[in-house]
């Protein structure tokens, strides 16, 4: 190299030589021997799913898919539907206080331990359950199980820390209610049900300042118990998940406070604003997620139209989109709404349109449901809808987060897991007659209607 430093690189043959010497590139590719090729091959076993129940009632579910990123989750039947009138907003406070100090670790240590291994902690809640999820590289997931167990089973709720999270709860609620879509959904459940599912996902304003340590501990003692807990893992063996549950998730044994059965009552709620777009949701009671008609309602949703499949698309293959184009000269959008819970469900039409077009849009949606209820449905339309439902089921299985939520909720409420491939195959038994029966139930059922926007041209429920 010393001899080459004084040479002016005018000859193109010297440049490759310098690159080889300075960057230490190989002059030719290395030869791979036959023995070396065989030694690098690894045949992983097929993914294994196992679900079991411990003696204390806790469900253990594990899907060992050999993923380099493992997920561990604790799912408890403690959603907003389990709040009584004196503890409204408890689940909102529960998820907002996940990072607070507990008997095992401090707030600083929780964040520090997760950051050091590049992990992630997420707490989500629905009207039926709360899920504590953590993911990290599979070599570190066992180190974080102690953190997750402490958050769930050893809370302290110091008064000064509860005071500090009130601002966060207000912010979360404000962001959610700023979306008309979310506000309509919250009002829908409040009007449709008499109890349980009517409770909001967010804490009422009058309860923000009232939560105390005793109130939160009372909610946990009555609702976070061994029989209402499922510990699930992906990228972990069943034995590893069970060992983590036995060591880190020791909570009160028993079934906790009885769960009230939901009561559907229906009704109407109107919120007049200065918005020129009117959001309207018109539904009737449908089927629970485990009911015999659950599959039929899923197919009916896609027959009517579950939303566009391409960005800014019109979903022209559905029934609702062409019907809206004929019914109104104003630009409008409508899709079938389908929400299923453990003991109830809601099905109907969600529409967004200018104020002048509300009557035409709602009328067109109801007319399409009535047409299906009268039997105006072909097998080709049912086959197309079945394929769309099947595609959504299988595509949801491509995301580990989606599989984790589905595995956790099914294990908690049914004690087993129906894989997306099995659920997709079960759709083959749904024929046009099943979809027609589902449409009849919706059209004849007691309605619930919620409207937000300029309601000067919006009909009342009894006028439809």
Return mean pLDDT, the chain: 89
| Cβ 89 vs Cβ 104: under 8 Å | no
* pLDDT tens track for 289-334: 999 999 999 999 999 998 877 777 767 678 998 899 899 889 899 9
* pLDDT tens track for 78-94: 999 999 999 999 999 99
pLDDT score for 46: 80
pLDDT at 23 over 70: no
DSSP 134: E
CA distances from 275 to 36, 313, 424 (A): 69, 24, 41
pLDDT score for 228: 95
* pLDDT tens track for 364-385: 999 999 999 999 999 999 999 9
* pLDDT tens track for 36-72: 555 556 777 888 899 999 999 999 999 999 899 999 9
The SS3 call for residue 311 is: coil
Residues 280, 181: Cα–Cα separation, whole Å: 10
pLDDT at 24 over 90: no
Residue ranges with strand state E in 327-366: 333-340, 345-354
pLDDT score for 308: 76
Q: Which residues contact 250 (CB under 8 A, 6 or more apart)?
A: 149, 153
pLDDT score for 249: 93
Closest CA to 464 of 276, 193, 282, 330: 282
What topology is assigned to 48-248 in CATH?
Cytochrome Bc1 Complex; Chain A, domain 1 (3.30.830)
In the beta sheet, which residues pair with residue 102? 155
Residues 366, 77: Cα–Cα separation, whole Å: 36
DSSP 453: E
Q: What is the mean pLDDT of the segment spanning 1-21?
A: 47
When comparing pLDDT for 23 and 85, which is higher? 85
Count of beta carbons in the 10 Å neighbourhood of residue 388: 20
* pLDDT tens track for 56-65: 999 999 999 9
Closest CA to 259 of 78, 95, 55, 57: 78
Alpha helix positions (H), 58-212:
90-96, 107-116, 141-153, 159-164, 166-178, 180-192
Identical fold for domains 48-248 and 267-463, yes or no, is yes
* pLDDT tens track for 328-364: 889 899 999 999 999 999 999 999 999 999 999 999 9
Q: Where are the domains of the chain?
A: 48-248, 267-463
Answering whether pTM is above 0.85, one says: yes
What topology is assigned to 267-463 in CATH?
Cytochrome Bc1 Complex; Chain A, domain 1 (3.30.830)
Closest CA to 199 of 91, 344, 75: 91
CA angle 428, 433, 438 (to 5 degrees): 95
Tokens, residue 432: 């046009």
Helix (H) or strand (E) holding 344: none
The SS3 call for residue 45 is: coil
* pLDDT tens track for 161-184: 999 999 999 999 999 999 999 999
């Amino acid at each position: 190299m010393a001899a080459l430093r004084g040479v002016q690189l005018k000859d193109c043959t010297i440049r490759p030589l310098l690159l080889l010497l300075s960057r230490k590139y190989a002059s030719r590719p290395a030869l791979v021997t036959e023995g070396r090729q065989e030694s690098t091959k690894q045949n992983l076993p097929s993914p294994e799913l196992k679900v079991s129940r411990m003696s204390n009632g806790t469900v253990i579910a594990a899907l060992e898919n050999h993923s380099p990123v493992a997920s561990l989750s604790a799912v408890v039947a403690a959603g907003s539907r389990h709040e009584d009138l004196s503890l409204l907003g408890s689940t909102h406070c529960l998820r907002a206080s996940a990072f607070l100090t507990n008997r095992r670790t401090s707030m600083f240590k929780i964040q520090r331990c997760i950051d050091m291994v590049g992990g992630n902690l997420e707490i989500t809640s629905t009207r039926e359950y709360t899920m504590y999820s953590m993911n990290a590289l599979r070599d570190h997931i066992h180190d974080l199980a102690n953190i997750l167990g402490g958050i769930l089973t050893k809370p302290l709720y110091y008064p000064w820390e509860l005071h500090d999270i009130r601002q966060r709860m207000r912010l979360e609620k404000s962001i959610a209610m700023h979306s008309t879509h979310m506000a309509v959904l919250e009002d829908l459940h409040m009007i449709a049900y008499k109890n349980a599912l009517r409770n909001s996902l967010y804490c009422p304003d009058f309860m923000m300042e009232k939560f105390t340590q005793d109130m939160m501990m009372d909610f946990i003692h009555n609702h976070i118990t061994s029989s209402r807990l499922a510990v699930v893992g992906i990228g972990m063996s069943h034995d590893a998940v069970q060992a983590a549950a036995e060591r880190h998730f020791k909570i009160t044994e028993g079934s906790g406070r009885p769960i009230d059965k939901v009561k559907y009552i229906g009704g109407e709620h109107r919120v007049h604003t200065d918005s020129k777009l009117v959001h309207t949701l018109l539904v009737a009671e449908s089927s629970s997620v485990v009911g015999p008609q659950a599959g039929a309602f899923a197919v009916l949703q896609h027959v009517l139209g579950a939303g566009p499949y391409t960005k800014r698309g019109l979903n022209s293959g559905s029934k609702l989109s062409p019907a809206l184009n004929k019914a109104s000269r104003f630009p409008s959008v409508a899709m079938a709404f389908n929400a299923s819970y453990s003991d109830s469900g809601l099905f109907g039409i969600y529409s967004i349109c200018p104020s002048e077009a509300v009557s035409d849009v709602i009328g067109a949606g109801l007319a399409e449901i009535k047409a299906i209820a009268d039997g105006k449905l072909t097998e080709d339309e049912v086959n197309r809808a079945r394929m769309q439902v099947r595609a959504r089921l299988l595509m949801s299985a491509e995301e580990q987060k989606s599989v984790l939520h589905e595995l956790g909720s099914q294990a908690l409420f049914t004690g087993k897991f129906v894989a997306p491939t099995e659920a997709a195959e079960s759709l083959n038994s749904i024929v046009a007659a099943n979809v027609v029966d589902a449409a009849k139930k919706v059209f004849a059922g007691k309605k619930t209607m919620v409207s937000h926007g300029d309601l000067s041209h919006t009909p009342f429920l009894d006028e439809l």
